[in-house]
């Protein structure tokens, strides 16, 4: 246990002492459960979600009706098991199920979170660049990167010294999370206003041009778009349990699930459907098509739709660009937590250092990625989805089959979360992960690689294959571990 002197030194330098250890029940006192709606509604109700829906017509050559049908279906189905992970708030899942292998999802999550930040920076930079002919994507990305750095730095003040007091108190320890919750509760407002204004201004063109005939959708494009949307959702899975750790567990599981489900569903469906509609109509509306720049600038499309509103439209466009930081706040906060899971000594690094590291990487990479926006967008999200789907499969299988679908203390005792002798070995998780990764490779379809099965016309279904194989292989490997323990006279932890 840390000494008082050590805590005071960490207090002085702004180091958060909680790390990745689970939060005890007596410190989970926040009863504002409605925040679990806004913490996910705000990051998804922005131009990133709009861009995801626009990929249907712009990248996968789908008509607006097919795109909307796929959007609604995928969001309805995938958000079920996806949102179940919010119920694991307060548990240290990677350490409990993977133990020595926890470094695998931790490292992958670091890269995935950086990928999310890069995509957000590209989209926000393009939106800023659309405001003036004197700006280009590169300058817009740099501007947004600097602004986001300032905003995110202010949200990462996990220091007791900034307000005084003992850092060991729950009030101080959850300061950063509290600030993020407050920020996300209002960051969605300019985006909703912008989307309403776009619909009001652009409805006549939408009604006139969306009935234009389009080529029949191919099964490959349908499945690839569905996989892309699923990856967009599943990519949030490793982050979900991080943002309810200080909320009281007294609320029913159903209530917590519904708040989170609606936060994701309402925002995703709204933004994605609007994106699909405007992207499908853009080729028939000259002003929109110029702004869309051959389907490479979603920010330009948004600005071109709002142009008839004059200065009001420019203000809205600028606010939408700046509010992209709402989608950056969560990844950058979890970014440092994932480093702590790689090696505990990373916990001794102030969170602002990770923000600087992330910014130093994402700005140059975003500038390069912006040259081929949708190819970069689809590739990054799909790769995030591949491993995240396997990660989710392992956690859900363990919970349903081996923890009796219960969140009770005897199934998830937080006092032994880092004790090797009292936890599963982690071998089944690693085995399942490796097997699932190998199984999904033939089903991948990326700009840089197309698997043999995908080449036969199935499209990219790697996300779904990874999840199914992850469930099956983890269940078998974990059961074999239990049988081995029994044969050796050892009791299985669960």
Instruction: Transcribe 107-171 into DSSP letters.
Output: HHHHHHHHHHHHHHHHHHHHHHHTT-TT--HHHHHHHHHHHHHHHHHHHT---STTT-S-TTSHH
> What percentage of the chain has pLDDT greater than the value 90?
27
The model's pLDDT over 145-158, given as tens digits with 9 standing for 90+, comes to 787 777 666 655 44
Mean pLDDT, to the nearest integer, of 396-420? 72
Q: Is residue 59 part of a domain?
A: yes
Domain CATH code at residue 211: 1.10.4160.10
Question: Average pLDDT in the 294-322 region?
Answer: 90
Kindly state the average pLDDT of the residues 231-252: 77
Tell me, yes or no, whether 306 lies in a domain.
yes
Min mean pLDDT across 6-15, 45-54, 389-398, 478-487 is at 6-15
Is 50 exceeded by the pLDDT of residue 440? yes
Residues 136-145: tens digit of each pLDDT:
888 888 887 7
Asked if residue 343 belongs to a domain, the reply is: yes
Lowest mean pLDDT among 69-83, 166-180, 414-428, 479-493: 166-180
Is residue 243 one of the residues assigned to a domain? Answer: yes
Lowest-confidence segment of 296-300, 316-320, 352-356, 407-411 by average pLDDT? 407-411
What pLDDT score was predicted for residue 110? 86
Instruction: Report pLDDT for 416.
Output: 64
pLDDT given for residue 484 in this prediction: 85
Q: How many domains does the chain have?
A: 1
Domain of residue 226: give its range: 31-90+99-371
pLDDT of residue 142: 86
- Token look-up 């912006």 returns 370
Asked if residue 367 is part of any domain, the answer here is yes
CA atoms within 13 A on the CB side of 218: 11
Q: What is the pLDDT of residue 19?
A: 53
Angle made by CA atoms 415, 418, 420, in degrees to the nearest 5? 115
Report if residue 481 sits inside a domain: no
**137 within some domain:** yes
pLDDT bin (cut points 50, 70, 90) of residue 364 is confident
pLDDT value, residue 12: 45
Residue where the block lists tokens 């009604």: 207
Asked if pLDDT for residue 463 goes beyond 50, the answer is yes
- Quote the pTM value: 0.83
**Is the pLDDT reported for residue 275 higher than 80?**
yes
Tell me the average pLDDT of the chain: 79
pLDDT of residue 15: 41
Please check whether residue 487 lies inside any domain of the structure: no
């Amino acid at each position: 246990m840390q000494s008082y002197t050590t805590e005071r030194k960490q207090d002085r330098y702004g180091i958060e002492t909680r790390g990745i250890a689970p939060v005890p029940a007596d410190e989970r006192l926040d009863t504002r459960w409605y925040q679990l709606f806004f913490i996910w509604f705000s990051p998804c109700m922005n131009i990133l979600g709009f861009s995801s829906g626009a990929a249907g017509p712009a990248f996968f050559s789908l008509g607006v009706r097919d795109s909307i049908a796929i959007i609604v279906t995928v969001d309805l189905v995938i958000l079920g098991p996806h949102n179940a992970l919010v119920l694991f708030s307060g548990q240290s899942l990677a350490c409990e199920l993977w133990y020595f292998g926890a470094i695998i999802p931790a490292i992958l999550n670091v890269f995935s979170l950086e990928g999310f930040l890069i995509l957000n920076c590209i989209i926000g930079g393009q939106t800023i660049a659309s405001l003036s002919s004197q700006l280009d994507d590169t300058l817009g990305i740099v501007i947004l990167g600097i602004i986001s750095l300032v905003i995110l730095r202010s949200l990462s003040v996990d220091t007791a010294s900034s307000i005084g007091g003992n850092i060991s108190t729950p009030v101080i320890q959850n300061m950063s999370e509290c600030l993020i919750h407050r920020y996300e509760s209002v960051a969605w407002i300019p985006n909703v206003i912008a989307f309403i204004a776009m619909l009001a201004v652009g409805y006549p063109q939408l009604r006139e041009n969306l009935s234009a005939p389009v080529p029949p959708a191919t099964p490959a494009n349908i499945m690839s778009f569905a996989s892309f949307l699923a990856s967009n959702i599943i990519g949030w899975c490793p982050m979900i349990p991080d943002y309810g750790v200080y909320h009281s567990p007294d609320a029913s599981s159903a209530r917590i699930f519904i708040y989170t489900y609606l936060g994701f569903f309402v925002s995703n469906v709204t933004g994605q459907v609007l994106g699909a509609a405007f992207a499908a109509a853009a080729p028939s509306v000259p002003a929109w098509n110029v702004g869309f720049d051959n389907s490479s600038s979603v920010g330009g499309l948004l600005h071109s739709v709002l142009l008839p509103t004059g200065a009001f439209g420019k203000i809205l466009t600028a606010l939408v660009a700046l509010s992209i930081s709402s989608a950056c706040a969560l990844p950058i906060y979890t970014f440092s937590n994932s480093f702590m899971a790689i090696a505990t000594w990373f916990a001794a690094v102030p969170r602002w250092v990770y923000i600087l590291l992330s910014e130093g990487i994402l700005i140059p990479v975003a500038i390069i990625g912006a040259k081929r926006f949708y190819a970069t967008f689809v590739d990054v999200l799909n790769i995030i989805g591949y491993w995240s789907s396997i990660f989710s499969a392992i956690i859900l299988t363990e919970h349903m089959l081996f923890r009796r679908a219960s969140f009770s203390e005897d199934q998830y005792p937080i006092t032994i979360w880092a004790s090797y002798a009292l936890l599963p070995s982690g071998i089944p998780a690693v085995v399942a992960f490796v097997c699932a990764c190998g199984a999904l490779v033939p089903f991948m379809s990326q700009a840089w690689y197309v698997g043999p099965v995908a080449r036969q016309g199935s499209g990219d279904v790697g996300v779904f294959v990874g999840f199914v194989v992850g469930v099956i292989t983890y269940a078998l490997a974990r059961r074999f571990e239990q049988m081995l323990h029994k044969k050796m006279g050892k009791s299985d932890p669960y």
